[in-house]
Amino acid sequence: MNIGEIARRAGVSRSTVSYALSGKRAVSETTRRRILQVVDEAGYRPNASARALAEGRTRTIGLVIPPAGRRLTPVQLGLVAGIVAAADRQELDVLLSPSGGEHDRSFERMVSGRRVDGVILTEIRLRDARAVRLRRSNIPFVSIGHTADADAGCWVDLDYERLIAGCVHYLADLGHRAIALVNRPQEFLDSGYGPACRGLAGFSAATAARSLDATAVCCADETMAGESCVGDLLAARPEITGIVTLNEVALPGMERALRRLGQAVPERFSVTGVVGRHWAEEFHPPLTAADVPISEMADRAVELLAERIAAPAAPDRHVLLTPPISLRASTAPPP
Amino acid sequence: MNIGEIARRAGVSRSTVSYALSGKRAVSETTRRRILQVVDEAGYRPNASARALAEGRTRTIGLVIPPAGRRLTPVQLGLVAGIVAAADRQELDVLLSPSGGEHDRSFERMVSGRRVDGVILTEIRLRDARAVRLRRSNIPFVSIGHTADADAGCWVDLDYERLIAGCVHYLADLGHRAIALVNRPQEFLDSGYGPACRGLAGFSAATAARSLDATAVCCADETMAGESCVGDLLAARPEITGIVTLNEVALPGMERALRRLGQAVPERFSVTGVVGRHWAEEFHPPLTAADVPISEMADRAVELLAERIAAPAAPDRHVLLTPPISLRASTAPPP
DNA sequence: CTGTTTTGTCGAATCGGTTCGAGTAACGTG
DNA sequence: CACGTTACTCGAACCGATTCGACAAAACAG
What CA–CA distance (Å, rounded) separates B168 from B89?
39
Q: Is A57 exposed, middle or buried (0-12, 13-18, 19+ CB in 10 A)?
A: middle
| Residue A227, amino acid | E
Confidence at residue B69, expressed as pLDDT on a 0 to 100 scale: 65
Q: Which of A46, A98, A224 sits opposite B84 (nearest CB)?
A: A98
Nearest nt to the B2 alpha carbon by C1': D16
Query: What strands, in cross-sheet order, belong to the sheet with A270-276?
Result: A213-218, A178-183, A242-245, A270-276, A288-292, A325-326
Assess if residue A66 is contained within a domain: yes
Same domain assignment for residues B263 and B299: no
Residue of least CA–C1' distance to C18: A54
H or E stretch covering B171: helix B160-174
| β-sheet bridge partners, residue A326 | A289
- Candidates A63, A240, A254, A37; CA nearest to A144 is A63
Confidence at residue B282, expressed as pLDDT on a 0 to 100 scale: 86
> What residues approach strand D to within 7 A at the CB?
A 11-16, 19, 25-32, 50, 53-54, 56; B 2-4, 14-15, 17-19, 21-22, 24, 46-47, 50-51, 53-55
- Which tops the pLDDT comparison, B127 or A28? A28
Average model confidence (pLDDT) across chain A: 94
Distance CA A103 to C1' C6 in A = 41
Same domain assignment for residues B302 and B258: no
Assess if residue A52 is contained within a domain: no
Residues of chain B positioned with their CB less than 8 A from the CB of A85: 67-69, 98
DSSP B65-129: EPPTTSPPPHHHHHHHHHHHHHHHHTT-EEEEEE--SS--HHHHHHHHTT--SEEEE-S-BSS-H
What CA–CA distance (Å, rounded) separates A179 from A240?
5
| Closest residue on chain B to A46 (Cα) | B113
Report the domain count for chain B.
3
Nearest nt to the B16 alpha carbon by C1': C9
Q: Is B301 exposed, middle or buried (0-12, 13-18, 19+ CB in 10 A)?
A: buried
Assess if residue B54 is contained within a domain: no
Q: Which of A47, A67, A98 sits opposite B113 (nearest CB)?
A: A47
CATH of the domain at A7: 1.10.260.40
A123 — pLDDT class (breaks 50, 70, 90): confident
Q: For residue A259, give the 3-state DSSP assignment.
A: helix
Angle, CA B183 vertex, CA B177 and CA B186 arms, to 5°:
130
Distance CA A51 to C1' C26 in A = 34
Distance of CA B117 to the CA centre of its chain: 19
Assess if residue A233 is contained within a domain: yes
Question: Is residue A16 a contact partner of residue A35, using CB atoms and an 8 Å limit?
Answer: yes
| Closest residue on chain A to B86 (Cα) | A68
Assess if residue A125 is contained within a domain: yes
Q: How far apart are the first and last CA of chain B?
A: 75
Q: Do B48 and A109 touch (CB under 8 A)?
A: yes
Q: Which of A45, A85, A223 sits opposite B112 (nearest CB)?
A: A45
What CA–CA distance (Å, rounded) separates B191 from B180?
22
Same domain assignment for residues A94 and A192: no
Q: Do B91 and A105 touch (CB under 8 A)?
A: yes
pTM given for the model: 0.92
- Say yes or no to pLDDT of A73 above 80: no
Distance CA B65 to C1' D16 in A = 33
- Candidates A109, A82, A133, A125; CA nearest to A297 is A82
What CA–CA distance (Å, rounded) separates A312 from A112?
18
Same domain assignment for residues B256 and B173: yes
Bases in strand D with any atom closer than 7 Å to a protein CB: 7-12, 14-21
Assess if residue B116 is contained within a domain: yes
Q: Is the CB of B21 under 7 A from strand C?
A: no
Radius of gyration of chain A (CA): 25
Same domain assignment for residues A279 and A313: no
Same domain assignment for residues B254 and B300: no
Question: Is residue A305 a contact partner of residue A211, using CB atoms and an 8 Å limit?
Answer: no
What confidence tens digit (pLDDT) does each residue in A149-200 have? Answer: 888 889 999 999 999 999 999 999 999 999 999 999 999 999 889 999 999 9
Same domain assignment for residues A136 and A259: no
Nearest nt to the A51 alpha carbon by C1': C17
CATH of the domain at B269: 3.40.50.2300
Under 8 Å CB-to-CB from A243, ≥6 apart: which residues? A179, A180, A181, A182, A230, A233, A254, A269, A270, A271, A272, A273
Same domain assignment for residues B136 and B283: no
Q: Is B321 exposed, middle or buried (0-12, 13-18, 19+ CB in 10 A)?
A: middle
Radius of gyration of chain B (CA): 25
| Closest residue on chain B to A57 (Cα) | B49
Same domain assignment for residues B271 and B183: yes
Which pairing describes strands B288-292 and B325-326: parallel, antiparallel, or unpaired? antiparallel
Same domain assignment for residues A275 and A186: yes
What CA–CA distance (Å, rounded) separates A75 from A260?
27
Residue span of the structural domain in which B33 resides: 3-46
Most distant CA pair in chain A: distance in Å?
85
What CA–CA distance (Å, rounded) separates B106 from B100?
11
Q: Is the CB of A109 under 7 A from strand C?
A: no
Same domain assignment for residues B154 and B299: yes
| DSSP H stretches of helix in chain A | 3-10, 14-22, 29-42, 48-55, 74-89, 105-112, 129-137, 160-174, 186-190, 194-209, 223-236, 251-260, 277-282, 294-310
| Closest residue on chain B to A49 (Cα) | B49
Q: Give the gap in angstroms from C-alpha B290 to the nearest C-alpha of chain A.
A: 21
Task: Estimate the crossing angle of helix A105-112 against helix A129-137, to 10 degrees.
Answer: 20
H or E stretch covering B252: helix B251-260
Confidence at residue A127, expressed as pLDDT on a 0 to 100 scale: 87
Confidence at residue A102, expressed as pLDDT on a 0 to 100 scale: 64
Q: What is the DSSP letter of A218?
A: E
Same domain assignment for residues B151 and B165: no
Q: How far apart are the first and last CA of chain A?
A: 75
| β-sheet bridge partners, residue A292 | A276
What CA–CA distance (Å, rounded) separates A159 from B119?
39
Assess if residue A327 is contained within a domain: no
Q: Give the gap in angstroms from C-alpha A104 to the nearest C-alpha of chain B.
A: 10
Confidence at residue B191, expressed as pLDDT on a 0 to 100 scale: 87
Question: Is residue A144 a contact partner of residue A121, using CB atoms and an 8 Å limit?
Answer: yes
Assess if residue B335 is contained within a domain: no
Q: Which stretches in chain B have pLDDT values below 50?
A: none
DSSP A19-76: HHHH-SS---HHHHHHHHHHHHHHT----HHHHHHHHT--SEEEEEEPPTTSPPPHHH
